A and B are shown apart, each in its own frame.
Chain A
Amino acid sequence: MAAGSSTDYIKHHLTNLVYGQHPDGTWGLAHSAQEAAEMGFWSFNVDSLGWSIALGALFLGLFSLAAKKATTGVPGGFQNFVEICVEFIDETVSDTFHGKNPMVAPLALTIFCWVFLMNFMDLIPVDFLPELFKLFGIHYMKVVPSTDPNVTLGMSFSVFFLIIFYSIKVKGIGGFSGELALHPFSAEYPVAQALLIPFNLFLEILNLVTKPISLGLRLFGNMYAGEMIFILIALLPFWIQWSLSVPWAIFHILVISLQAFIFMVLTVVYLDMAHETDH
């Protein structure tokens, strides 16, 4: 493969299918990365959103099917699988989260399964789905939603919103802002304390804002790097690809589960910190 065409190949694989407003005012799909960039904020990555919603719906569909048929008697094979997932999440959450909030465990389950499924798309051969969609005339198709920072940051900022919400709900506005302002540096004299407040605010707000950004970018970075390596392997001659893609795929099984797990655990830890009152 010539150098130019491999650059095009990589670029093509990293371009989303974007729907938005063209400069001439009409709405439609972008036909190139540049066109997509010109659409500005009010455009949608149709492929990322579509795949992520489809996978989320798949997860919830299967699990709610099992939940509907859930029996206290001898569970069937699929119910067993669902129960293993639920049990695993329940244990992890009860180990990490010490407050009382019935929403946290299902939230963790949703994050874990959904992120896992989105990451799992990485294991489908890189050219398979894009070529399939090309047959239907769709020229850009990025199938791994978690390689799109919009998706990972969208989730991590939702988590951030929950952190703020529960911090205020549990500690009150006064308690929460006190935590931001009077920590980590505190002094006995009011004047010294007042002088320390800006430093504290700076550190704590930075600390707070770093959480969602690092949470989202960690997942994005890992999946993006993995996907990039798959794309690079796909540039090799077809008869040698398996020697690299198979080991990398096997290793990647570990990465995708680990990243899903990390995203879930960190969410639970952040929410636990938000529920902590004695600080």
Chain B
Amino acid sequence: MNINATILGQAISFAIFVWFCVKFVWPPVITAMRERQDKIAGGLQDAEKAEKDVLIAQDKAEETLREAKQQAAELIEQANKRSSQLIEEAKGQAREEGERLKTAAKSEIEQEVNRAKEGLRTQVSVLAIAGAEKILQASIDENAHSKMLEQLAAEL
């Protein structure tokens, strides 16, 4: 346990070790740590910001949804209105058509009736003449009596 040159050796190695640590050990480790600290702080900040963004996006989405719903409701209402309108229109058209068909049928019937009347008239006059011929047993001057017969037919 004598004090000897070991003390110098220890001092020299101490100096070398400290120099080495100052130069090669401390700076990279502390730099990495500081950088990671910054990174984590940045990450946390970003996360906070992202959270806020999500809230905003959620609000926006809700609003859009609400708008869409409203629009859809409007569209449905419009469609309903339109469909009832169409139905009404169709009804009107059908009624008109029916009316038209009815009048057409009526006029046709009238025509038919008239035609039948005409036919009957001619046939009645012929029959009347034939009847008269048979009744009178004599030839009657057709020309002389046709006017009278026509009058008769018209009265039918």
Contact = CB atoms under 8 A, between A and B. Distances in A.
A58 to B, nearest CB: 11
Contacts of B8: 154
A49 B6 contact: yes
A52 B13 contact: yes
Interface residues of A, number: 55
Which 9 residue pairs across A and B have the least CB separation, nearest first? A154-B10, A150-B6, A106-B26, A70-B32, A67-B28, A72-B35, A154-B7, A45-B6, A106-B22
Interface of A: 14, 16, 18, 20, 36-37, 39-45, 48-49, 52-53, 56, 59-60, 63-64, 66-68, 70-73, 75, 79, 82-83, 86-87, 90, 102-103, 105-107, 109-110, 114, 145, 148-151, 153-155, 157-158, 161
B135 to A, nearest CB: 137
A60 B17 contact: yes
Contacts of B1: 14, 16, 148-149
A16 B31 CA distance: 42
Contacts, number: 129
Nearest to B8: A154
B4 to A, nearest CB: 5
B5 A44 contact: yes
A114 B32 contact: no
Given A63-B21, A71-B32, A72-B32, A155 B5 contact: no
Nearest to A46: B6
Contact of A155 (B10, B20, B22, B29): B10
